[in-house]
Amino acid sequence: MSELHVPAIDTVAIDAVLAALADPIRLTLVRALIAAEDWTCGSDVLRSTGITIGRSTLSHHLKVLREAGLIQTRVQGTRRLVALRHDDLTRRFPGLLELVAPPAAAPTEPGTSTPTA
Amino acid sequence: MSELHVPAIDTVAIDAVLAALADPIRLTLVRALIAAEDWTCGSDVLRSTGITIGRSTLSHHLKVLREAGLIQTRVQGTRRLVALRHDDLTRRFPGLLELVAPPAAAPTEPGTSTPTA
DNA sequence: TCAAATATTCGATGCGCATCGAACATTACG
DNA sequence: CGTAATGTTCGATGCGCATCGAATATTTGA
């Protein structure tokens, strides 16, 4: 079991983070990971969003997010477990995760509307 | 004198804001406007950044920023004065401006590292 | 009314990026 | 060792977007 390389959080620029979050699919993935709050299988977090894309495309987006410093990846058997770098991001960019967090983040109210533009 | 139309701040989605800030030139313009803190001539704020692009390109970027809810424009004679929607943005997206603010914006502490990639 | 200054709009162009499918890699399990 | 499962890499493709130049407003001032 090993960890895929990620940039040190101090070397991560907000410019790269914003560029990574510009893509709607990557933004959705990050939001799902914020909600997950723990290691998750990459393809599972994709399925949880309802988005349907090819495996290679998902792999590409996860790579972009990893190299942008947003997520980390752990190899477990034939699977890849991904997780948001929650602590690192909160320390380096306070307020960032709250900013991109799901707009209707009401855990006790699943029926709320999601005014995502 | 008139004001160009801007979207109501409540209708602005963070998704659109992030997409607008993904472009390096637009990000630079926003940072210059944060530093300006007041109405500024569009071409002046461009010159202050040192970026050299055509007039039409600048006009395009300002339009994107305006429609994304980040700036507002006032017509004064043959000029266009632009300003960041500072209060609106702070109210709707707390922490956003601090996040994208110039990395080395420490007036009293010039010794901090500037990890701009 | 004409000319100058400033900015927008329009059409075209080129590049970057998201996407896909196929081939390859890695690990688990029989 | 061979097969299945998962994921990455590679090459190609298509679209969106940033960019530019020319043409077009709009306002000012002589």
Query: Do residues A62 and A75 touch, judged by C-beta distance below 8 A?
Result: no
- For A66, the domain range is 9-98
Residue A15 lies in a domain: yes
What's the mean pLDDT in A80-101? 97
pLDDT, tens only, A28-67: 999 999 999 899 999 999 999 999 999 999 999 999 999 9
Residue A86 lies in a domain: yes
Q: Looking at CA atoms only, how far is residue B4 from chain A in angstroms?
A: 22
Q: Report the domain count for chain B.
A: 1
CATH code of B91's domain: 1.10.10.10
Closest partner residue to A93 (CB to CB) among B16, B24, B99 is B99
Query: Does the distance separating the beta carbons of A21 and B117 come in below 8 Å?
Result: no
Interface of A with B (CB under 8 A): 10-16, 18-19, 21-22, 24, 27, 93-96, 98-100, 103, 115-117
Residue A117 lies in a domain: no
Residue B64 lies in a domain: yes
B4 vs B115: which has the higher pLDDT: B4
Q: What's the CA–C1' distance between B89 and D10, in Å?
A: 43
What's the mean pLDDT in A11-34? 98
DSSP label of B106: -
The residue of chain B with its CA nearest to that of A31 is B15
Residue A32 lies in a domain: yes
